[in-house]
Chains A and B, each alone.
Chain A
Amino acid sequence: MTAPCLRLDDYLDGRLSAANAEAFETHTLACPACDAALDQAAPDLSVLRDVSCPPEVLEAALRTARRAPALAPDRLPARRHRPRRRFVVVPLALAAAVAIAVGVTWDRALDDSAPAIAEAVPPAAAAPEAPSALPEPTPPASDATAAPEPVAPAPRPEPTPAPRPTPPAPELTAPADDDLVAQTGATTDPAEPEPTPEEIEAARDDLALAFHLVAEAQARAREAVRDEATPLTHTLDRALPF
């Protein structure tokens, strides 16, 4: 037994200064007797082992993990927390908002200009094979922008020798709000087998995960905006005399 060994009780009872306690801890690395004595003085924590993982937690994790390879890497829970993500989320959110606003405005502009386009185009320029009871087929964007121009010499002299393929009738008669559904239905192969309940459940879970991630991104975006705005507000308060 050496002199540092005599400090064992003082160490255990917290009577050593921080420096002396650290020196004693270093001493235990080279003193098996003190090391063993400290082991024996440790509280018995084995009773804390009587806790098991709840089965619902385990099963939920296994369900998520089995679907994980089918998910994109950035949708996995393991990738939810990336550094500096807030600097990505805010511009993305703003871009999404602008895109939605532009899309709505564009749709309304097309709806409003549809009668004007129909009046501006002479009957000879209209597709002759289109039934008169059906509205004008929705043209491509380039056609829609070119049609209102009063001087469009290219289509006028030609009696439309090469007619454009007309969309199927159900698309023409579908209301505007149902266009997306109708188009989606038109592109679905009728021979394609119905999804299984497992696939539906997996898709539903994926959708729930997507909503969860979007909600989390929104919360982080709000936090990021608040973090950025607060110092700016303080700076303005100090800089402005009013």
Chain B
Amino acid sequence: MSPDALVRQHADLVYRVALRVTGTPDDAADAAQDALVKVWKGIGAIDAERQRAWAARVARNAALDLIRRRKVRPEPGRGEPVTEPPCASPQPDDHAEAGDLRAELARAVGTLDDPYRTILLLRDVEGLAYAEIADALDLPLNTLKVYLHRARRRARAALTASAPELVP
């Protein structure tokens, strides 16, 4: 598979990671663009089964670099995007409701610090396996599982305060 095709395959994942780490669509676009260039250059040397985790790692690092560069790291609780990007496949009937739901969930995820935010995103949004996330974040597997429980509990607490109907 050509580098262009691989970049297109992982572009959405890269952008979503950048969006959740930076907190704003503009910063996410900048970070995602930097990350996609790096993915294009390096993904050919990565084993196929590790490419998704590696792309997520590159996206996270690019987003954290951008935050450090601009020194505008979003504070916990205020990290939600000012304008949530439009849905990929909007449905006319429930578009507004889905937008509200997404904004609430994004706000709850935005209350978490890194790496909890990234772990929650990679596991519960992107569906990466434990081993992939541990590889992407250089964490021991047991530490990752503990962090994931902690991240879910904190996101649940944030939702309980703002949107309890979303808490299982």
Contacts and interface: CB of A to CB of B under 8 A. Distances in A.
Nearest to B153: A12
B159 A43 contact: yes
A169 interface: no
Interface residues of B, number: 53
B33 A61 contact: yes
B107 to A, nearest CB: 11
Given A29-B145, A54-B15, A57-B29, A81 B168 contact: no
A78 B34 contact: yes
Interface in A45-102: 45-54, 57-58, 60-62, 64-66, 68, 76-78, 81
Interface of A: 11-12, 14, 25-26, 28-29, 35, 38, 40-54, 57-58, 60-62, 64-66, 68, 76-78, 81
Given A45-B120, A53-B11, A78-B41, 20 more contacts: A25-B146, A28-B146, A28-B149, A29-B146, A38-B153, A42-B152, A43-B159, A45-B121, A45-B124, A45-B125, A47-B102, A48-B105, A48-B121, A51-B19, A53-B32, A57-B36, A61-B34, A65-B7, A65-B36, A68-B37
Interface of B: 3-4, 7-8, 11-12, 14-16, 19-20, 29, 32-34, 36-38, 40-41, 65, 69, 84-85, 87-89, 98, 101-102, 105-106, 108-109, 120-121, 124-126, 142, 145-146, 149-150, 152-153, 155-157, 159, 166-168
B168 A40 contact: yes
Contacts of A41: 152, 156, 168
Given A43-B152, A51-B16, A58 B8 contact: yes
B29 A54 contact: yes
Contacts of B16: 48-49, 51, 53
Contacts of B41: 65, 68, 78
B149 A25 contact: yes
